[in-house]
């Protein structure tokens, strides 16, 4: 079945330009150009959850001043000064890998699939074409409930720092494959683990224990090694945290083989 295309947009509040940070930037010499550059960075990082990164094959190549200038069609001098300024006031963070992370982008990301957009337009047309107010009432209540559910989910999303978890994985699990994108399935898996009671500290300990396991890193005679998706599965995360994959010589416990190392299900 053809996968739905997903659209992204930048959500700006009506008081965006009244925000103290944005106002402060605009007060600087050439500040208006810096804000314009910042918005371009936000747009370019929507699909990667606020992370600006590029890969050449399997190699991560950080953006530099010249490449950012080309990416955003912004003068090099403006980029150079703006990036230094943004980092100083906390709008961006340069990761150890060289990736650029826009720290305030999470609450500015809007997204929906093409199918969701089609259904939204369809419901709008049906409302306009309906003549019987009584018949429309149940649909109105349904739409209200849908909006409430969406609002609840958006609030939950804003409380979960997916990027922090991915960064912990990259900083700790240096022997494992990198995560290139925070897909919807990965978000769903992370949300499920957090809802079940796991904390950021649990994820940190999970990655530390995985990095200590030669078995999970591929020394298992099976030509297989774990990755981020496998580690955060509901059936695997507690086993790793319980030390069941630590090497016998280190902990004196048996290596328990994965039940299904190639399973694509994340929740």
Q: Answer yes or no: is 256 within a domain.
A: no
DSSP tag of 185? H
Structure-block tokens of residue 137? 């009432």
Same domain, residue pair 24 and 77: yes
CA 192 from chain centre, in angstroms, equals: 15
| Domain with 127 in it | 121-158
60 and 80 in a single domain? The answer is: yes
Residue 258 in any domain: the answer is no
When mean pLDDT is compared over 5-14, 159-168, 170-179, 256-265, the highest value belongs to: 170-179
Q: What does the H/E/C string look like for 41-100?
A: HHHHCHHHCCEECEEECCEEECCCHHHHHHHHCCCHHHHHHHHHHHHHHCCEEECCCCCE
The token pair that represents 187 in the structure block: 């978000």
Summarize pLDDT for 216-251 with one digit per residue, the tens. 998 888 888 999 999 999 999 999 999 999 876 554
**pLDDT score for 80:** 96
Residues 151 and 188 in one domain: no
The reply to whether 223 falls in a domain is yes
Do the Cβ atoms of 62 and 97 come closer than 8 Å? yes
In total, how many domains does the chain have?
3
- Domain contains 112: no
Q: Which of 104-108, 157-161, 186-190 has the highest mean pLDDT?
A: 186-190
- Residue 117 pLDDT: 53
Neighbouring residues of 175: CB distance < 8 A, sequence distance ≥ 6: 211, 217
Average pLDDT score over the chain: 79
Whether 85 and 10 map to the same domain: the answer is yes
Query: pLDDT class for 97, splitting at 50, 70, 90?
Result: confident
Tell whether 101 and 129 lie within a shared domain. no
Q: Does residue 219 share a domain with residue 244?
A: yes
Residue 267 lies in a domain: no
Same domain, yes or no, for 149 and 225?
Answer: no
Tell me the average pLDDT across 239-265: 62
Q: Is residue 170 part of a domain?
A: yes
* Closest by CA position to 80, among listed 65, 64, 60, 98: 65
Predicted TM-score of the model (pTM): 0.46
The pLDDT value given to residue 22 = 92
Predicted confidence at residue 96, as pLDDT, reads: 83
The answer as to whether 263 is a domain residue is no
Tens of pLDDT along 174-184? 999 999 888 88
Supply the CATH number for residue 33's domain.
1.10.10.10
- The residue whose two tokens read 């591929």 is 218
């Amino acid at each position: 079945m053809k996968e739905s295309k997903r659209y992204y947009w930048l959500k700006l509040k009506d008081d965006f330009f009244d925000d103290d940070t944005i106002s402060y930037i605009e007060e600087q010499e050439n500040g208006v150009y810096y804000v314009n550059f910042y918005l371009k960075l936000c747009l370019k990082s929507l699909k990667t959850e606020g992370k600006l990164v590029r890969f050449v094959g399997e190699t991560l190549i950080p953006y530099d001043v010249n490449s950012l200038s080309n990416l955003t069609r912004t003068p090099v001098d403006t980029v150079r000064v703006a990036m230094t300024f943004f980092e100083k006031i906390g709008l961006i963070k340069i990761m150890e890998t060289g990736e650029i992370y826009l720290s305030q982008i999470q609450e500015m990301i809007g997204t929906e699939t093409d199918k969701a957009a089609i259904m939204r337009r369809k419901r709008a047309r049906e409302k306009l074409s309906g003549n019987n107010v009584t018949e429309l009432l149940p649909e109105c209540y349904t739409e209200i409930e849908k909006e409430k559910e969406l609002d609840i989910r958006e609030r939950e999303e804003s409380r979960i720092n997916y990027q922090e978890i991915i960064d912990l994985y990259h900083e700790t699990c240096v022997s494992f494959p990198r995560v290139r994108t925070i897909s919807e399935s990965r978000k769903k898996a992370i949300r499920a683990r957090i809802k079940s009671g796991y904390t950021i500290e649990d994820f940190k300990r999970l990655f530390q224990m995985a990095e200590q396991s030669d078995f999970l890193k591929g020394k298992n005679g099976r030509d297989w090694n774990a990755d981020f998706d496998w580690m955060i599965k509901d059936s695997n995360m507690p086993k790793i945290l319980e030390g069941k994959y630590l090497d016998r010589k280190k902990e004196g416990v048996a290596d328990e083989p994965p039940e299904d190392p190639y399973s694509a299900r994340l929740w």
